[in-house]
Amino acid sequence: MLKSISPCILVFSVMGLASCSSNESAPDATNVGVGAAAEVVPRHAQEDKNPLIHILGEHEARRLATNFLNESLSKRKFLAPGGEIEFPPIEGERWEGIVYDYRKRRIVLRFGGYGGWEASVSLGSDGSDPKVEHAEFAWD
């Protein structure tokens, strides 16, 4: 009796291992449609449900935001106590706050205020799609 059980266990073990192994190039069974002509999409070509998010380092975010703000506001005039003035070019160290907004997946940089220039710029987490969110001369 014991001799007949061992071959059965061995056969079921091999079948179990064969069903557990994955074949990356095999199509996913969930993509098969109802009709016979349904297209089967390989697993590696499907859209990734959890894409990898690349977040810039602080130095690179400061550099990109500084370049973008200086370029965007180079010809814009602002009202200051002495009348209309141009936005002075800023350095990368001027950014006082750098925050990553997880809901929007954007980096937000802010500087200034209280009797001087203030501005905020937002970038995509990888530096794409920069926007000047706010720029003005703060009066008080």
Neighbours of 107 (CB within 10 A): 25
Q: Please check whether residue 121 lies inside any domain of the structure.
A: yes
Q: Please check whether residue 24 lies inside any domain of the structure.
A: no
Domain count, the chain: 1
Q: Please check whether residue 21 lies inside any domain of the structure.
A: no
Q: Please check whether residue 88 lies inside any domain of the structure.
A: yes
- The pLDDT profile of the chain, 140 residues, written as one tens digit per residue, is 455 555 545 444 545 444 454 444 444 444 444 444 445 555 555 565 666 777 888 999 999 999 999 999 988 888 777 888 888 888 888 899 999 999 999 999 999 877 788 999 999 999 999 999 999 888 76
Give the whole-angstrom CA distance, residue 120 versus residue 110: 4
Q: What pLDDT does residue 29 have? A: 46
The upper half-sphere exposure of residue 118, i.e. CA atoms within 13 Å in the direction of its Cβ, equals: 10
Q: What pLDDT does residue 35 have? A: 44
Q: Please check whether residue 96 lies inside any domain of the structure.
A: yes
Domain that holds residue 103: 58-138
Q: Please check whether residue 111 lies inside any domain of the structure.
A: yes
Give the whole-angstrom CA distance, residue 60 versus residue 98: 12
Q: Please check whether residue 20 lies inside any domain of the structure.
A: no
Does this model's pTM top 0.85? My answer is no
Q: Please check whether residue 97 lies inside any domain of the structure.
A: yes
- The answer to whether 118 touches 92, Cβ cutoff 8 Å, is no
- The answer to whether 97 touches 111, Cβ cutoff 8 Å, is yes
